[in-house]
A and B are shown apart, each in its own frame.
Chain A
C-alpha cells in the first residue's frame, strides 16, 4: 500500500472505518472519558506503542479543547511483559515515557488501537504495577474485534468490529501511515 495513495480495495482489504468516522469516534471517546472521570480529574493517558501513542495524544488534545483541561499524556511499552516473547526473535522495545506527574493515585487510561485477545492489555497491567500504584485503570480502544482470551474488557470503544480469526485488522494513522483508516483483510501485515 503506498503511503500517499488511497486504500485499494482487495489488496489491503476492505476499509471499515474512514478518516471521518475515526474522527467522530475519538471525539465521542473523549467526551465519554470526561463524563466518567468527572471532567478528567486525575486522569493520565498512556498510549501503548505503536499506534496507541498517537491515539492517546489525539484524545489528550480533544479533552484539552473541550474542557480546557491539560491531561498528562505518555506512552507505556509492554514488550518486556508479554507472554508470547518466546515465539519470535527478541523484538525491539518501544518507548516508555511517563509524564512527570507519575501514575500513583491517578486514573490511568490505557489507549490502544485494537483490542483482540487481551494479552497486550494484560501485559500493560503488569507493566503498570511495576511502575506505581494507580487509583484506577481504564482502557480505551479504537477497535474491539472480539475473540478475547482473557477476562479483559474495554471501558471506551470506538467501534465494535466482529471479525473471524482468519482476518487481520490494520489501523492506519496519519502520524505513522500518512492516512487514517481501519482496514480488514485476510493476509497478515508484518508488524
Chain B
C-alpha cells in the first residue's frame, strides 16, 4: 500500500465537492474524478475540507509543568482538533527565553509527530518585564522563532515594548501582547461588572485591556513594526483594533473560541473551570467579537489552550489557576458561534483558522489554500454530526474545559500532516 491518500468528494472552498490526491507530502491533484491506483481511499462525502488549522496561541506546558500537559499530549489534542501547527507559548519552566529552551520544545514537537510545534520566544528575560530576552538568537536558532510573547504577563513598560517592537524588525518578527495593565488588575478575578459586584470577586475592568491595546497600536505605528494582540476579549478592544487597521497600521488580532460563546454569567456558581485570563465578559462583548471576526477586524481564532491539573481548579475561585483547554473543541465552538449563526462561511473559517494565523506566525508550509502543489496539510470536518455533549476526558492531560457537558455540533473526522494522517475517523491514527 502506498503512502498516498485519495480523499473523495470533500467540500473544498470555491470548488464544491472535489477529490484531492495527497502524495509525497503535497497535494498532487484536485478536482472531480481523480483516481490513483494504490492510494488509500477516504470517502469524504459531506465533509468540509479545510487547510490544516494553525493555532497561534497554545500552552504545551513542557518543560516544567508536565503534570498538566506535555508536548506529546498537547499535540495529540491539537491533531484531534484538526490542527497541523501550533505556536507553543513561552511561559514554561524554565521560560522559553533562550535558544536552548525553544530548540528543546521544537525537537519535542518533531519527535512526537502529531503536528508542527512552532515555539514562541519570550519578549523579556524570565517574563520579568525588565529587559529584553535574546530575541535575535532565538530567531536564528533551529526553532526559527518569529513570534515573541510574554503571554501570561503583559509587557507593561512602554519603553521596553517600544524597544521590542523595533528590535524584531530585523528579522521580520512580531510581538504578540497579552494586553493587561497590571496596576488596574491587581488581584482581579472576574470581569468587572454586575456579576463580580454580586459575587464579591475583585473585578478585571475592560479598560485595563483596551487602554493597553491602544497604547501598543500607537507604538507599533510609530516604529513601523508588527503588533499582534492576543485573546481580544471586549467590544472596546475590537473597536480599537478596527481603528488601528483603518489607519493602515501593522496590527493583527486573535480571539479565543470561549470568548465567542461564553459570558461571565457562568461564574455564578463559583466553579473555577470558568476562570480565565482575560476573563469571560458580557453578552454584548461576545456579540461584538463575533462581528469583528466575521468582518476580519479580528484576524483569527487562537485557542489559548491552557491546561491545568485538577488541584489547580478544584478549589476556591480566588485560589484557582486561570485558564481553559480548547484545542479539541475549537472548531466545533466556531461552528456553533460563527457558521451556524450565519456570520462566517467555511471559506471564512479556513481563512481565520489556517491562512491568516500561518501568515501572522510567518509559517511556511502551513495555512496554504488547498491547491495542487500545496503542502498536504488538511482537516476533514463533519458539520452535520449530531451535537454531542463535550466530554471532559480527551487527549489532553487536563480536564479543565468549560464546555464539559455542553452539546456542540460537528466532529473532526481526519487530520493530515504533510500527507500523513494524524487523525482518522475522529481518533488518533
**A–B direct contact (CB < 8 Å):** no
